[in-house]
Amino acid sequence: MNELDLKKEGIRGINSKLQTLPKNTNEKHWVVTNPMGQHSIAVGLDGPLQIDIKGHVGFYCGGMNKESEITIHGHAGVGTAENMMSGIVWVKGNSSESAGATGNGGLLVIDGDASSRCGISMKGIDIVVGGNVGHMSAFMGQRGNLVVCGDAGDALGDSIYEARLYVKGKVASLGADCIEKEMRAEHIADLERLLKAAKRKEKPSEFKRYGSARKLYNFSVDHADAY
Amino acid sequence: MDTNIPRTIPRKSATFDDATLAEIRRAASTGIYDIRGAGAKRKLPHFDDLLFLGASISRYPLEGYREKCGTDVVLGTRFAKKPIHLKIPITIAGMSFGSLSANAKEALGRGASAAGTSTTTGDGGMTPEERGQSKHLVYQYLPSRYGMNPDDLRKADAIEVVIGQGAKPGGGGMLLGQKISDRVAAMRCLPKGIDQRSACRHPDWTGPDDLEIKIQELREITNWEKPIYVKIGGARPYYDVALAVKAGADVVVVDGMQGGTAATQEVFIEHVGQPTLACIRPAVRALQELNMHRKVQLIVSGGIRNGADLAKALALGADAVAIGTAALVALGDNDPHYEAEYNALGTTAGAYDDWHEGRDPAGITTQDPVLAARLDPVKAGRRLYNYLKVLTLEAQTIARANGKSHVHNLEPEDLCALTIEAAAMAQVPLAGTDWIPGKMRF
């Protein structure tokens, strides 16, 4: 285990160190201390590292991550794991808005609550939220899974494409073109896998699935009122 | 009818002219607004309303074929470790693979590289053809983030954070289903054949303070090497440029309402945003007041057609221009050679703007493999190269005539305006007077 003190190294020092490690390095486990809510910690990583951040982080922690497993032992700001490609970002506390935005792959776990626009424009990422998500979550979600173990705010899945949403609790309202859908065997298997990966105790049978009605896929004036 | 009584001749309304009447009928029959490509088509105050004064006794000119007139420009000198050094101050504006064919993107890369300048991706990601053929490639970072990934980000020579564009400041985008081929769909992570909407706001930041953090993230991911551009539509150029500078931009791109789009509502194109001419001086004033003029470079786009437009934009304070529509025309867009086919589409060469339909006879704004194959990327790239050379030679001609050894030495004092509107917008005197509307003279 290696330690990086953000107070001493600064953001550039920490990111530069983590980004330039050779892919086959033996120094895989890094602990970042004194994150102090700073922005852009551990962004653009490209390799199978294990990063433990001991405290709260600001915007975009783990942004565009590839392969690394990043654990935030605290709360996270806006855009956690934005545009992640692969790997894992795990928030032990709560996460602010736009968590997992535009993510292409990998797994984002938020043990606590996520704010609004969680999974906005998601493109293949899997997101598991232990608590609630705010309004407009999975807005224009293209691909991937959003699992919400608590409640979802207003306009869930507005203008959604092919992303799959699973919510255990209440949904305040569904957005344009988002409907409740049948939970088939493939979805139960998917959900089981995701809950297990996120170390959740909930059962797939407790969730409802939501997704696209696909009525807004090609513009029709008769659907203009949906917007 | 008594033919001895004089009659009034049929008179059409200036308000309800033929185009207006046709649009009302079209709207009534379809129930949907008109969507088209290109920029504003209405007559606007533009660079044609300005003239260069030239040299005489008070200023002396440079010899046309013997004395040097520089044209190079360095973009990204503020923070980036690796600024871009271009031979000419004309860049190719962002146009997506998806809206354009792969051959068209390749041709843009070929032409721009041969001329020593940059080309720009678009809303849809980076293609190998484009990267391969572009010596300097600017990678757009858009609200949709279609195709966005850190590997391509690092392959880019600069990153352009797109806030808006001149054809539709405040608007997102739409690539209609008919242009979504297998390849386009795969790059955008969406099913084939469906309309692909591009959001009007970024998904993970709002406002200038957030933008500053976003720019920091992009710099951190790319080791602070790449120049970061911020592109805005011509909405409130004074404030938006100031905020872009505050957020940490290396380069600001200001796109006026004549700037083109692949597909947007006609009402948006023609009624939202400001003419390019009206955007330059407020943008330059914002830079000057922050002591950032020439430190943060300004690129102006929207209706640049010739070397005179280029020279006028530079004289008003821009560091470079970007061209989009003109570059497509140079490749072969709207060429009368295809007149019969344009007629079959209900239009004529020069007026074809249904770029979103994917039926472009010139093979440029299409994903139809048969049509796209019509465009030879090598020949089309050569045409773009030729055109860029002509723009450069024309601007040099004007600069020398005004006694300038570099096109960047052109200044507002070299200009006068033909109309009061242009004088007010460009803040140069009305021809034959020392009057600049809105400016007190003591």
Q: Does A66 touch chain B (CB under 8 A)?
A: yes
- The answer, yes or no, to whether residue B388 has pLDDT greater than 60, is yes
Burial of A72 by CB count in 10 Å (0-12 exposed, 13-18 middle, 19+ buried)? buried
Quote the CA–CA distance of B131 and B125 in Å, as a whole number.
Answer: 11
Q: What pLDDT, in 10s, does the model give residues B214-262?
A: 999 999 999 999 999 999 999 999 999 999 999 999 999 999 999 999 9
Interface of B with A in 202-221 (CB under 8 A): 203-205, 210, 213-214, 216-217, 220-221
- The answer, yes or no, to whether residue B442 has pLDDT greater than 80, is no
Supply the DSSP symbol for B357.
Answer: G
Q: Are B114 and B385 in contact (CB under 8 A)?
A: yes
Q: Which domains does chain B have, with CATH numbers?
A: 69-426 (3.20.20.70)
Shortest distance between the Cα of B271 and any Cα of chain A, in A, equals 21
Nearest residue to B259 via CA among B182, B347, B169: B169
Quote the CA–CA distance of B389 and A186 in Å, as a whole number.
Answer: 59
Q: Are B175 and B196 in contact (CB under 8 A)?
A: yes
Q: What pLDDT, in 10s, does the model give residues B392-438?
A: 999 999 999 999 999 999 999 999 999 999 999 999 999 999 999 98
CATH of domain A2-226: 2.160.20
Q: What are phi and psi of B378, to 5 degrees?
A: -75, -50
Q: What pLDDT, in 10s, does the model give residues A39-82?
A: 999 999 999 999 999 999 999 999 999 999 999 999 999 999 99
- Residues in chain A with CB shorter than 8 Å from the CB of B148 are 83, 102
Q: Does B155 touch chain A (CB under 8 A)?
A: no
Average pLDDT score over chain A = 96
Average pLDDT score over chain B = 94
In this prediction, residues B149-168 reach a mean pLDDT of 96
Q: Which residues contact B288 (CB under 8 A, 6 or more apart)?
A: B317
Q: Does B149 touch chain A (CB under 8 A)?
A: yes
CB-based burial, B76-107: b 16+ in 10 Å, e otherwise: bbbbbeebbebebbbbbbbbbbbbbbbbbbbb
Burial of B151 by CB count in 10 Å (0-12 exposed, 13-18 middle, 19+ buried)? exposed
Q: Does A120 touch chain B (CB under 8 A)?
A: yes
**Residue in B205, B214, B220 closest to A15 by CB:** B220
Q: Within 13 Å and on the Cβ side, how many CA atoms surround B316?
A: 32
Quote the CA–CA distance of B268 and A135 in Å, as a whole number.
Answer: 29
Quote the CA–CA distance of B273 and B246 in Å, as a whole number.
Answer: 23
Q: Are A103 and A143 in contact (CB under 8 A)?
A: no
- The answer, yes or no, to whether residue B175 has pLDDT greater than 80, is no
- Hey, which residues does B300 pair with through a beta bridge? B254, B321
Nearest residue to B290 via CA among B240, B251, B242: B242
Q: Does A17 touch chain B (CB under 8 A)?
A: no
Cα-based angle A79, A82, A83 (whole degrees, multiple of 5):
160
Other C-beta atoms lying within 10 Å of the C-beta of residue B159: 24
Confidence band of B104 (pLDDT split at 50, 70, 90): very high
- Hey, which residues does A72 pair with through a beta bridge? A53, A91
Domain boundaries, chain A: 2-226
Q: Are B249 and B215 in contact (CB under 8 A)?
A: yes
Q: Does A217 touch chain B (CB under 8 A)?
A: yes
Quote the CA–CA distance of B339 and B336 in Å, as a whole number.
Answer: 5
Q: What pLDDT, in 10s, does the model give residues B256-275?
A: 999 999 989 999 999 999 99
Q: What is the pLDDT of residue A227?
A: 61
- The answer, yes or no, to whether residue B178 has pLDDT greater than 90, is no
Q: What is the pLDDT of residue B181?
A: 79
Quote the CA–CA distance of B296 and B333 in Å, as a whole number.
Answer: 33
Nearest residue to B300 via CA among B316, B272, B322: B322
Lowest mean pLDDT: which of A221-225, B57-61, B342-346, B388-392?
A221-225
Other C-beta atoms lying within 10 Å of the C-beta of residue B432: 8
Quote the CA–CA distance of B316 and B288 in Å, as a whole number.
Answer: 12
Q: What is the pLDDT of residue A222?
A: 74
Stretches in chain A below the pLDDT threshold 50: none
- Residues in chain B with CB shorter than 8 Å from the CB of A59 are 204-205, 210, 213-214, 217
**Are A59 and B217 within 8 A, CB to CB?**
yes
